[in-house]
Amino acid sequence: MRILLIGEYSGFHNSLKSGLQELGHEVTLVGDGDGFKKFPVDIEVGSDYFRRDWLREKVKVAWWKLTGNNLEDQIRLARFRESEHLMKGYDIIQFINSNPFGCEANVEWEMIDYLLKNNGKAYLAACGDDYPYAQYLTQEHEGYSILTPYHEDASLKKHFAHTFKYLQKGYQSNYENLLARCEAIIPSHVDFKMALENESKSTKMIPCAVVLKNLELEQNHITTPVEIFMGINRGNYHKKGIPYFEKALKIIKEKYANRVNITVAENLPYQEYIKSYKKCHVLLDQVLSYDQGYNSLEAMAQGKVVFAGAGLPFLKAYHLKTAPLIDAQPDVDDLVEQLSHLIDNPDELFKIGQEARTFIEKYHDSVIVARQYQEIYIS
């Protein structure tokens, strides 16, 4: 089959593309590389022309406020039009969400509508923010979520603007119109499956793909100090619950002094990021979720001990009795206790790291995941 993948988040479509190609499909990926992360794409439709220059960015914002038109969107649309002849005639088209080009809703729909009209069966992935997920997060439900900091302190709302934008009328309409023309929506995480519980077009959860041939098991010899790594993307700082980790790390540093070494890296391109955590034993990724993102999955594939979502919903989804990672909850005392246990019992680091690799091989291998997508595409 000829498959067109639209949009990229954290390597989601790159990894799926690898698996689909292994199965013999022709796959083309369209996107902007996910901003500063710079993931590879086959057809580039992004633009950072205004963001590269302070004055240009000011002009763009002023024009936006004055007219309601985003000048950068027009560049993205022009780049799309230049390449639109390369984005037609595919058997399958899959969108990463209802805003894969990151434009204002009306401009976005021009591109989405063209793609729907000029390709075969369409599918929608649920692997990040979108209307039903944003709606679910704002409703009252048990447990915690990426909006927990906002629910506890409404003054933080500006930090969640990306999530809240999907509740705006134009974005909601785009989602509903896109889903109506798609065969199905495919959740990739426990959190998104929970939000789609009552959606008739929702399929079973298919985990994110990980390209294992690029990620060797690299468990570092346990010596003092224990190496702890945390990567920060300021755009997701509150959504990932980084303040909980920061408070816990401050206590750990005071408690263990020279027995622990803590590395914090910010806003790194993907290739630099994966190099920066190579020497670590423990990777702190996210607190406010029930599953793992790509940073977690790729670190687990390399035998790192990861702190991310691994509570009861995760165990049920994967039919597990114990998790191959540490369940990071929004509780500083619990995070300190979990970290302390690993520092005091370093043999646990190897055991959990090996379990993590086995888990990724069983559930997230890109070819295994691609076969599940293939089954949905041809059903």
Could you report the per-residue pLDDT of 72-120, keeping only the tens digit for each? 888 889 899 999 999 999 999 999 999 999 999 999 999 999 999 999 9
Rounded to whole angstroms, how far apart are CA atoms 218 and 281?
10
Q: Give percent of the chain above pLDDT 70.
A: 92
Judge whether 249 and 229 are in contact, CB under 8 Å: no
pLDDT number for residue 203: 98
User: pTM here?
Assistant: 0.91
pLDDT at 40 over 70: yes
Looking at the predicted structure, is the pLDDT value of residue 66 above 70? Answer: no
Question: What is the predicted pLDDT for the residue at 183?
Answer: 98
For domain 2-209+366-378, give the CATH number. 3.40.50
Q: What is the pLDDT of residues 308-353, one digit of tens each?
A: 999 999 999 999 999 999 999 999 999 999 999 999 999 899 999 9
pLDDT of 276 > 70? The answer is yes
Q: Which residue's entry shows tokens 């075969």? A: 120
Residue predicted with more confidence, 67 or 335 = 335
The widest CA-to-CA distance across the chain, in whole angstroms, is: 61
Q: Is the pLDDT of residue 222 over 80?
A: no
Rounded distance between C-alpha atoms, residue 83 and residue 379, angstroms = 30
Domain 213-363 architecture: 3-Layer(aba) Sandwich (3.40)
Cα four-point dihedral sign 245, 360, 36, 105: negative
Q: Which residues pair with 2 in a beta bridge?
A: 26
Q: Which pLDDT does position 58 carry in this prediction?
A: 56
Looking at per-residue confidence, does 358 or 214 come out higher?
358
Q: How many CB atoms lie within 10 A of CB 189?
A: 24
Reported confidence tier of residue 271, pLDDT bands at 50, 70, 90: confident
What's the confidence (pLDDT) of residue 63?
Answer: 46
Query: Residue 274 corresponds to which amino acid?
Result: I
Least confident piece of the model among 77-91, 196-210, 215-229: 215-229
More confident residue, 288 or 61: 288
Structure tokens at 250: 């401050």
Residue 54 pLDDT exceeds 60: no
What tokens does 17 get?
A: 């593309």
The residue among 378 and 71 whose pLDDT is bigger is 378
Kindly report, residue by residue over 353-370, the tens digit of the pLDDT. 999 999 999 999 999 999
pLDDT, average across residues 163-178: 97
Mean pLDDT rounded to a whole number for the chain: 90
Which residues touch 349 (CB under 8 Å, ≥6 apart)? Answer: 219, 222, 226, 281, 282, 305, 342
Task: Report CA Rg, the chain.
Answer: 21
Confidence at residue 265, expressed as pLDDT on a 0 to 100 scale: 86
Residue 52 has pLDDT above 80, yes or no: no
